[in-house]
Amino acid sequence: MSDSSSTAPGETVAESSVLACPACGEPSHDGARFCEACGTPLAPLPPAGGDPAPTGDPTSTGDPKSTGDPATGDPASTGDPATDDDPATDDAAATQPATSDPAAPAARPCVRCGGTVAEDGYCTECGEPAASERDHWAERPAAWVAGVCDRGVRHSRNEDAMALAASPSADDERAFAALVVCDGVSSAPDSDVASLAAARAARDVLASGSQEGAAPVTGEPSARIGAWSALVGEASRAAQSAILATVGDMADRENPPSCTFATAVVDGPLVVAGWVGDSRAYWVPDEGEARQLSVDDSWAQEMIAQGVPRAMAETSPQAHAITRWLGPDAPDPVARTAATLPDRDGWVLVCSDGLWNYCSPAADLAGLVRATHERVGGEPQALAGALVDWANAQGGRDNITATLARFVRSAAPAPDGLDPDLETTIPTT
Amino acid sequence: MAEFAAEVYQNEFLSEGATDVHAIVTVTCTGAGSAGSAGGGAGGVAEIIMVDTSGSMSGRNIEAAKHAAQVAVDQILDGTWFAIVGGSHVANRAFPYPNARMAMVQMEPGARAEAKRAISMLTPGGGTAMSTWLRLADQLFATVPQATQRHAILLTDGKNESEPRANLSAAVRDVTGHFQCDARGVGSRWQVDELREISTALLGTVDLIADPAEIAADFEKLMRASMARGVASADLRVWAPQGAQVLFVRQVAPTVEDLTNRRAEVNPLTGAYPTGSWGDESRDYHVAVRVASKPVGAEQLAARVQLAVNGEVVSSGLVKAKWSDDESLTTRINPEVAHYTGQTELAAAIQEGLAAKAAGDEATATVKLGRAVQLAQQTGNDEATSRLRKVVDIDNEEQGTVRLKRNTSTLDEMALDTASTKTTRVRR
């Protein structure tokens, strides 16, 4: 995706607006009518205020019968997964009225060719199925925080979910962002329901610790690390509770719905990550060494810990077997956490394995993020969308979620009592 | 009010790299009502009966034909515009009488009685030039523009011998789309290909009537069916996505008719194929579309198959394509598609086999008719099998090994030929 249509109405991104070719993924600039690489006609951008970002990949939309608000599963609903009731969520999708009449879905242009989608759920020009909100959506709670969640190419459902919250400006001393990604376990049916409920519940708990929240985290940065770590643990427990409440009877199944959990909270100079499973949080400085903040709860990670080379461990058949998860049969729902105090500007990235599978080492991922930043600019939703597009172009074998927060070091003076050159993750659990 | 429903039968799963999507679409019409019920009443309907009055009809044929025409007249609903044409090497309007001011009149008891009297006065004489019959019928229909549902029955017993073949083809072309026409041949001296050309182009049926005594029952059935067609005209519409190619559109039940070349453009992506009038019935269509291949996991709509009445879509079926790497899905052959593919080939094998036999090419005839026997067996078309048995001796039904019969009756060959396009439905 990465096209400007995924940007909130009123946000000007014309200079950096990039539309990926639906056929080959080649980016092309706003106004181009045909792909430079393969000649495929490119769609005019959908009108502002319209739909959630269309994916650049024509295959990444799903069965129209399973579309609609992922929370309700209502097939005809145009309610979007991003809105919830968080007024800070000002992404494009949020402009869709949550109460829209399910019988009369708003006519939305085709994600592939920009044509009209007929009532039968397919484009009148190219036959592409109508985009499902659950299959692809974007959130952008603030101009410096955004994410894109996509079904990918090979899966028929998007079991990834995300939920974001942010304060308006990255430049505030107490700039706040919470990125939550949950990856539904695809071997367990209905994990898409579990993952979305989990992500939203966790996001709400984390937002309560912001300056605007119900129980703001206070104190010096060093003191806040502990408070945030505790709150992240609480968020993962809340996510677990939300899953249990959502799945109901499905909990009795042999394979009950379940998902991973990964988050990163930005609070001024502080970044606190938390995880259960193998979704990841990365710190990607604009220059210098990038680091994976989370440590996978996975079979592959256990192998790595025992000395097996990363590349070998991550490509083994059981690599994706996770040792911890959220769900009715979860062994331990409390997130492990780590905190860091970055010394420069950069990106905080929380993603699912649909992205990191194609560039697991932090240095590789950082290379990708920086190159993409160079190409599409620093608007976080365009960047997240371009990362998702890239993963789709690599094959899109899994659902893909990329969420980003722009970390601005200058806004937060070096906290007392902590080494300003701190470049190591502080394990807090 | 007539209601249409479209059902799609297909295997939407394509293997990686596959491009061709096949589907059988069954369109069913219910609540059609009687002719003219959709609007304008019976005044919106017109019928013409064309009876061969050439010299060859003398004797039993003309008497039987006259009786049949009178029976048909009885079936025409009051209010329907109608006329009777007697045809030889020229066409004559038998009723309304040649000196009448009106070219067609509306049916009422007086007109019915008078028409029957006019029919009884038909006398055989002259040759056969069916182009003149069709052109006269076309002129008569043209005098009642308010009648939008137009149907004719044409009966002959002989070859179109009084004019070059091209004249008939030209007339058929010229009147196509103006009215529908069922064509009937009595006896064994008429040409199946001539009547098939007429009935195919004019959206009717062709059939053989072996015994003149059966004409009346057939005419009664034809006219009753026509009077029960409450939907004057409908188009099959096929939409295919940008860049896709419609390989063919065929009606496959109740008979095989290739519609591909009858496309009229609705818009660049949608073609309309005329299907004539509809009663309470169902027809099956085989649509094949070639789309660009997509990656495994992708889905797209390959075709919308719709029925449109008066330019308005009344029913729509969706033909989909989903690319998968699951061979258990992609290798499955849809039974409906397989059945009608076999039935279409069966019709072609019969026609080609008989044509080869007529041309003296016994080797080709044996192979083609053998294949026909095999296909009839595979698709469960027992009627075709029993008709084939009258033309060939079957050594092995499953393998399609046959021997051409000596001294077969022309009637049996013609019966096989005319019925070749009739299909059996899939057992569901």
Of all residues in chain B, what percent carry a pLDDT higher than 90?
91
- Closest CA–CA distance from residue A127 to any residue of chain B (Å): 4
- Domain membership flag for residue B427: no
- Do residues B74 and B209 share a domain? yes
Residue B298 to chain A, least CA–CA distance (Å) = 5
Question: How far is the C-alpha of A203 from the C-alpha of A350, rounded, in Å?
Answer: 13
Element (H, E) at B346: helix B335-358
H/E segment holding residue B266: strand B264-267
Which residues on adjacent β-strands are paired with residue A406?
A347
A288 torsion bin: left (phi>0), alpha (psi -120 to 50), beta (else): left
- Give Cβ neighbours of residue B366 (< 8 Å, ≥ 6 apart): B353, B392, B402, B403, B404
Least confident of A311-325, A355-369, B30-44, B78-92: B30-44
Q: What percent of chain A has a predicted confidence (pLDDT) above 90? A: 44
Q: How many CB atoms lie within 10 A of CB A267?
A: 27
What confidence category does residue A8 fall into, taking pLDDT thresholds of 50, 70 and 90?
very low
Collapsing DSSP to helix, strand or coil, A233 comes out as helix
* Count of beta carbons in the 10 Å neighbourhood of residue A167: 21
- What whole-number distance in Å separates Cα of residue B72 and Cα of residue B66? 10
Q: What pLDDT is attached to residue B425?
A: 87
Q: For residue B316, tell me if it sits in a domain.
A: yes
pLDDT at A97 over 70: no
Helices B130-142 & B165-175 angle (0-180, nearest 10)? 20
State the pLDDT at residue A22: 54
Contacts of B240 in chain A (CB under 8 A): 127
Domains identified in chain B, total number = 3
Distance from CA of A156 to the nearest CA of B (A): 7
* A4-427, CATH topology level: Phosphatase 2c; domain 1 (3.60.40)
This prediction has a pTM of 0.69
The residue with tokens 């905190």 is A339
Higher-confidence residue: A251 or B268? Answer: B268
Amino acid at B187: G
- pLDDT at residue B174 greater than cutoff 50: yes
Helix H segments across B184-307?
A: 192-201, 215-227
- In a shared domain, residues B222 and B241: no
Largest CA distance in chain A: 63
Q: Which of B241, B294, B297 sits opposite A125 (nearest CB)?
A: B241
C-alpha–C-alpha distance, residues A43 and A17, integer Å: 13
Q: Which residues of B touch A58 (CB under 8 A)?
A: 294, 298
Whether B297 sits inside 8 A of A128 (CB atoms) is: no
User: Are A120 and A63 within 8 A, CB to CB?
Assistant: no
- Chain B, nearest residue to A112 by Cα: B300
- What residue of A is the nearest CA neighbor of B296? A154
Asked whether residue B399 falls in the same domain as residue B289, the answer is no
Token digits of residue A213: 């929240």
pLDDT of residue A250: 78
Same-domain check for residues B76 and B209 = yes
Q: Is B297 within 8 Å of A153 when comparing Cβ atoms?
A: yes
Q: Is the pLDDT of residue B202 over 60?
A: yes
Interface mutation target, options B239, B242, B293, chain A, most CBs of A under 10 Å: B242
Mean pLDDT of B357-363: 94
Residues B302, B319 contacting (CB under 8 angstroms)? yes
Residue B380: CB atoms within 10 A of its CB come to: 15
User: In this complex, is the C-beta atom of B304 within 8 Å of any C-beta atom belonging to chain A?
Assistant: yes
Yes or no, beta carbons of B269 and A124 under 8 Å apart? yes
What confidence tens digit (pLDDT) does each residue in A137-153 have?
899 999 999 999 998 87
Cα distances from A2 to residues A48, A53, A288, in angstroms, run: 15, 8, 26
Alpha-carbon distance of A171 to A410, in angstroms, equals 8
Chain A residues touching residue B242 (CB < 8 angstroms): 113, 125-126
CATH number of the domain enclosing B10: 2.60.40.3670
Task: Cite the beta strand spans of A325-417 per DSSP E.
Answer: 336-340, 346-351, 400-407
Same domain assignment for residues B48 and B25: no
Residue of A55, A59, A110 best to disrupt the B interface, most CBs of B under 10 A: A59
Using a pLDDT cut of 70, give the percent of chain B over it. 98
Residue A253 has a pLDDT of 81
Nearest residue in B to A63, CA atom: B299
Element (DSSP H or E) covering residue A388: helix A380-393
How many angstroms separate the CA of residue B301 from the nearest CA in chain A?
4
Quick: pLDDT tens for A313-341.
888 888 778 999 999 988 899 999 999 99
Of B296, B298, B301, which is closest to A122 when you measure between CB atoms? B301
Q: How high does pLDDT run on average in chain B?
A: 94
- H-type helices in B76-175, by residue range? 109-120, 130-142, 165-175
Distances (CA, A) of A426 to A206, A220, B30: 20, 16, 74
CA distances in angstroms from B207 to A20, A106, B95, B181, listed in the order given:
59, 53, 25, 12
Number of H helices, E strands in chain A: 7, 14
Mean pLDDT to the nearest integer, B271-281:
95
CB contact under 8 A, A58 and B301: no
Residue B269 touches partner A, C-beta closer than 8 Å: yes
Closest CA of chain B from A214, distance in Å = 44
The least confident of A371-380, B38-47, B378-387 is B38-47
Taking alpha carbons only, the member of B20, B27, B9 closest to residue B339 is B9
Q: What was the ipTM of the complex prediction? A: 0.78
| pLDDT of A30 | 54
Region of B418 please: left (phi>0), alpha (psi -120 to 50) or beta: alpha
Strand partners, A7: none
C-alpha–C-alpha distance, residues B313 and B125, integer Å: 49
Q: Do B300 and A128 lie within an 8 Å CB cutoff?
A: yes
Instruction: Output the domain CATH number for residue B396.
Output: 1.20.120.1690
A226 — phi, psi (to 5°)? -65, -40
Is the predicted pLDDT of residue A173 greater than 60, yes or no?
A: yes
Rounded to a whole number of angstroms, the distance from the CA of B4 to the nearest CA of chain A is: 17
What is the Cα–Cα distance from A293 to A427, expressed in whole angstroms?
9
CB atoms within 10 A of CB B333: 10
Q: Is the minimum CB–CB distance between B291 and chain A shorter than 8 Å?
A: yes
What is the nearest CA distance from B289 to chain A, expressed in angstroms? 12
- Report the pLDDT averaged over residues A41-60: 40
Instruction: Name B6's bridge partners.
Output: B27
Confidence of residue A61 (pLDDT cuts 50, 70, 90): very low
Query: What distance lies between CA A84 and its chain's CA centroid?
Result: 16
End residue of a domain, out of B210, B227, B244: B227
Question: Would you state the pLDDT for residue A155?
Answer: 81
User: Nearest chain A Cα to B241, which residue?
Assistant: A126
Do B284 and B296 lie in a common domain? yes
Token readout for B66 is 């006259």
What totals of helices (H) and strands (E) does chain B contain, helices first?
11, 20
The answer to whether the CB atoms of A153 and B298 lie below 8 A apart is yes
Alpha-carbon gap, residue B229 to B279, rounded angstroms? 4
User: Which among A59, A120, A124 has the least Cβ separation from residue B298?
Assistant: A59
Place of tokens 């959990």: A261
Q: Which residues of A touch B294 (CB under 8 A)?
A: 58-59
Query: How many Cβ pairs closer than 8 A exist between chain A and B?
Result: 51
- Which residue in B has a C-alpha nearest to residue A23's C-alpha? B294
Model confidence pLDDT, tens digit, residues B367-409: 999 999 999 999 999 999 999 999 999 999 999 999 999 989 9
Task: Please tell me the predicted confidence (pLDDT) of residue A346.
Answer: 95
Q: Which residue of B has its CA nearest to A122?
A: B301
pLDDT at A37: 58
Alpha-carbon span A63 to A136, nearest angstrom: 12
> CA–CA separation, A261 vs A277, rounded Å?
6
| Residues B298-317: tens digit of each pLDDT | 889 999 999 999 899 999 99
Residue B317 lies inside a defined structural domain of this protein = yes
Average predicted confidence (pLDDT) for chain A? 77
B151 and B187: one domain?
yes
**B348 by DSSP, 3-state: which?**
helix
**Dihedrals phi, psi of B258, to nearest 5 degrees:** -80, 120
Q: Which residue of B has its CA nearest to A117?
A: B301
Rounded to the nearest angstrom, the minimum Cα separation between A277 and chain B is 26
Statement: residue A231 has pLDDT above 80: yes
The residue among A206, A187, A186, A189 whose CA lies nearest residue A198 is: A206
Residue range B140-169, pLDDT digits in tens = 999 999 999 999 999 999 999 999 999 999
Q: Would the pLDDT of B120 be above 80?
A: yes
pLDDT-derived band at A29 (thresholds 50, 70, 90) equals low
Q: Please check whether residue B297 is in contact with residue B253, taking contact to mean a CB–CB distance below 8 angstroms.
A: no
The secondary structure element, H or E, covering residue A310 is helix A310-315
Q: What is the pLDDT of residue A24?
A: 55
- Per-residue pLDDT, A121: 86
Q: Does residue B424 sit within a domain?
A: no
Q: What is the pLDDT of residue B75?
A: 94
Domain boundary among B227, B245, B267: B227
Residue B306: name the closest of B7, B19, B20, B10 by CA.
B7
pLDDT top residue among B311 and A46: B311
Interface of B with A in 150-189 (CB under 8 A): none
Distance CA B46, CA B105 (A): 9
Whether the CB-CB separation of B91 and B127 falls below 8 Å is answered with: no
Q: Are A217 and A267 in contact (CB under 8 A)?
A: yes
Is B205 in the same domain as B141?
yes
Residue contact B316–A120, C-beta within 8 A: yes
Q: Do A59 and B244 touch (CB under 8 A)?
A: no
pLDDT of residue A17: 42
Residue B297 domain boundaries: 3-32+231-332
Cβ–Cβ gap B300/A153 under 8 Å: no
Angle between helices B192-201 and B410-418 (to 10 degrees): 20
Q: Which residues of A touch B244 (CB under 8 A)?
A: 127
Name the domain boundary from B332, B352, B371. Answer: B332
B297 and A155 in contact by Cβ < 8 A?
yes
Provide the β-strand partners of residue B271: B238, B265
User: B25-60: string of b/e by CB count within 10 Å (b at 16+)?
Assistant: bbbbbeebeebbbbeeebebbbbbbbbbbbebbeee
- Give the closest-approach CA distance of B268 to chain A in angstroms: 10
Q: Which residue has the higher pLDDT, A302 or A9?
A: A302
Residue partners of B214: CB distance under 8 A and separation at least 6? none
Which chain A positions have a beta carbon within 8 Å of B297's beta carbon? 59, 153-156, 396
pLDDT tens digits for B2-39? 899 999 999 999 999 999 999 999 999 999 988 887 66
pLDDT of amino acid A162: 96
For A46, the 3-state DSSP assignment is coil
Q: Is the peptide bond before B254 cis (omega within 30 degrees of 0)?
A: yes
